[in-house]
Amino acid sequence: MLVVAAVLFALLGVVAAYAASRFFPARIPADGLLLGTGAAGGLIGGLVMRTILDGSYPAATLPAAFATAAALVSLLARPPKRGRHAKTRPAA
């Protein structure tokens, strides 16, 4: 049963990474690192929460897996690109 839960946590992480790449295409790089980070974040968050709750509340472990994956994926975000008018002037 733990193997099924681990696969589900990893899939939730991949879904979080895919959603981030679709909602923020300019800030989130769409590559293998993104999907790997999402899967690892989902797996870590889900397994830690499952350990804390002793596996008795599976409905609480799924949001924790998704939130951890989203937090780790957000670390890969680039700063927004600034336009020509957003540059600061040097101090005189």
Domain ranges of the chain: 2-77
pLDDT of residue 44: 94
Task: Please answer whether residues 7 and 46 qualify as being in contact, where contact means their C-beta atoms are separated by less than 8 angstroms.
Answer: no
pLDDT of residue 16: 93
CA dihedral defined by 63, 73, 17, 30, rounded to 10 degrees?
A: 180
CA distance 90 to 24: 31
Q: Where are the alpha helices (DSSP H) in the chain?
A: 2-23, 32-52, 58-74
SS3 state at 79: coil
Per-residue confidence in pLDDT tens, the chain, 92 aa: 889 989 999 999 999 999 998 888 888 877 888 999 999 999 999 999 999 988 788 888 999 999 999 999 998 887 776 665 555 555 55
pLDDT of residue 83: 62
- Please tell me the pTM assigned to this model: 0.78
Run of H or E residues at 54: none
CA distance 45 to 92: 50
pLDDT of residue 76: 87
